[in-house]
A and B are shown apart, each in its own frame.
Chain A
Amino acid sequence: MHADQRCVLTGTHFINGDAACCEGALSAGARFAAGYPITPSTEIVERFSARAPQVGGLFIQMEDELASSIALQGMVWAGQKSFTVTSGPGYSLMMEHIGYAAITETPCVFVDVQRGGPSTGLPTLPAQGDMMQARWGSHGDYLTIALTPNSPQECYSLTIKAFNLAEQFRVPVMFMMDECVGHMTEKVVIPKAEEIEIYPRRLASKPPGEFNLFEAGEDLVPEMAHAGEGYKVYVTGLTHDKRGYPVLNPKAQHELVTRQFEKIRRAADELTIVETEEIEGADVVVVSYGITSRVAQRAIQMARDKGLKVGKLRLICVWPFPEKLIRELAPKVKALVMPELNMGQMVLELERCAGGKCQVISVPHAGGTVHKPADILAAIERGAR
């Protein structure tokens, strides 16, 4: 399926990452956003509120982030593709409903334009401090998918990807931008609608009466029916059976949670979305994501100029973490270096997957700006020794 021509601003633009994310959502088919303004994410829904009515869409400014994060799910069950956007403090408020989206398998996108934290922190400055929150923020056991763009161009293209993955796996997808990428203005090329692949909603293939709302087939992802289409649409945050009815016992819990884990786990290869450069034969590989990957690239160039054998591994999909790739890579290198705009979050996962087979060097940063390339270079040099 291709994007709807009316919603795609085909052409070459000079826009910021927030604007590009909004255009990505529109291209992906999002027709509803619920949000509560918060820097540095506001421009996304500001633009959406102007653009959406032109294509039959709707934006509601809700009373807060709790309301936003559940209103969007109501709209998904009513038949639309929906998303919300926020930043740190608002993201924290949304955690309960991210768990709700996970257990109800509601396909939707949560955009978090990360700023310095904790709490109100640095409203106008970048950080990558919500990376673990994207994985573990809500209570209980669930898996999410999280993507990190490093340019306005990717804010466009990966937003489409985020919506597609949400529909394909029926999970809430976390779109982890940061203030720098969101507020940075660069060239963004928006292709023709017919060149944009859209993953359509997996709608019920059986008639009402024969259809169970949470009965999954081969790939463990159930088909969906919307409210008002004649199907029984019973959606609850309680543990439920294939009909969606609450069943509160260990067997139902086991079946539901393991299936929801397994549908993501078995797609690990497909969800290993990375960009690599010269990792074969490298002594040191720099692993990074988001805006930090660009600064890291600068450091990698500087290290290569000094004759060091340095590879690049950029994580585009950070959750699920590319475990297999790291397990294979670790024994072949002296060190993995991970700069990130937090005090060391994803590096914990990197260490776990490296399993002691090489040195893992964290290059933490409390946020507010990006790393100095020289600091990453120093870590590369340390790893190469």
Chain B
Amino acid sequence: MLKEIRIAGFGGQGVILSAHIVGRAVSIHQGGYATMTQNYGPEARGGAASAALMVSDQPVLFPYVTHPDILVVLSQEAYTRYAPEMKSDGVLLVEEDLVRLENLPPQARVYGIPATRIAEELGKKMVLNVVMVGFFCAITKAVDREACLKAVSDSVPERFRKLNTEAFDRGFQFGEELLLKGPAKEEQTVGVGAVESDD
């Protein structure tokens, strides 16, 4: 089954690495196929960052993500830009403290996680992307947990391995617990600040 995945946020949140980890997990540790592309436009400088992944059990032919089955957003800008492209029944994963859900695609299943806060609890905000990868792994099941953990290990320097494994586990756990509750409704995932009305 071919799945289109997009992970997007600010530059510096590690979105490229998170896509890299998932791609590596699928194609190297799980025996599947993954093709990752990045946005290289001038907009990649000083703000938005986005990586796209095609994963499949067959070789990937068409390289670009057009309508993600799974969208992971770590910033409001990324949400605004990419949510309209989602498949109507797609899965949306959000950094719930940083993204306010407006004009949600009607049938989208939404799961939120305070990934940055969890990373801060672990002592390093930088690992928020790996928290998100753990969360992604638990919710979407697009990649095996073991494969993903291996990919985390070989994607980070030795001295940060333990921290990143912990970050992955925290995200994964959060995801499993959330799955028991089911996807969030729009009003439950409203993040920081008041929702401004456009009217």
Contact = CB atoms under 8 A, between A and B. Distances in A.
Q: Majority SS of interface residues in chain B?
A: mixed
A14 interface: yes
Contacts, number: 57
Nearest to B41: A124
A295 B20 CA distance: 23
A179 B27 CA distance: 22
A181 to B, nearest CB: 9
Contacts of A294: 60-63
Contacts of A345: none
Contact of B23 (A12, A185, A370): A185
Interface string A281-299: 0000000000100110110
Nearest to A123: B40
Most chain B CB atoms below 10 A, which of A180, A185, A294, A373? A185
B64 A186 contact: no
B24 interface: yes
B24 A186 contact: no
B38 interface: yes
A185 B63 contact: no
A272 interface: no
A216 to B, nearest CB: 43
Interface residues on B, range: 10 to 19
Interface string B22-47: 01100110000111111011100000
A40 interface: yes
A291 B40 contact: no
A179 B34 CA distance: 18
B61 A186 contact: no
B61 A295 contact: yes
A183 B28 contact: no
A92 interface: no
Given A298-B61, A369-B64, A183 B23 contact: no
A291 B38 CA distance: 16
Contacts of B27: 14, 186-187
A39 interface: yes
Contacts of B23: 14, 185-186
Interface string A303-334: 00000000000000000000000000000000
Most chain A CB atoms below 10 A, which of B27, B35, B41, B63? B63
Nearest to B36: A185
A180 B38 CA distance: 10
Nearest to A296: B61
Interface in A112-163: 124-125
A184 B36 contact: yes
Interface in A185-238: 185-187
Given A14-B23, A39-B40, A370 B35 contact: no
Contacts of A179: 40
Interface in A162-184: 179-180, 183-184
B28 A14 contact: yes
A296 to B, nearest CB: 9
Contact of B62 (A14, A185, A187, A295): A295
Interface in B137-179: none
Contacts of B64: 369-370
A185 B35 contact: yes
Contacts of A373: 62
Contact of B20 (A40, A184, A185, A291): A185
A380 B75 CA distance: 43
Given A14-B20, A124-B40, A184 B63 contact: yes
Most chain A CB atoms below 10 A, which of B23, B36, B42? B36
A301 B62 CA distance: 12
B32 to A, nearest CB: 9
Nearest to B23: A14
A321 B126 CA distance: 51
A187 B40 CA distance: 20
Interface string A337-372: 000000000000000000000000000000001100
B24 A14 contact: yes
What 9 pairs across the A-B complex have the smallest Cβ distances?
A: A124-B40, A185-B36, A187-B27, A14-B24, A298-B61, A294-B61, A297-B61, A298-B62, A12-B28
Interface of B: 20, 23-24, 27-28, 33-38, 40-42, 60-64
Interface of A: 12, 14, 39-40, 124-125, 179-180, 183-187, 291, 294-295, 297-298, 301, 369-370, 373
9 contacts: A14-B24, A14-B34, A125-B40, A184-B36, A184-B63, A186-B60, A187-B34, A294-B60, A295-B61
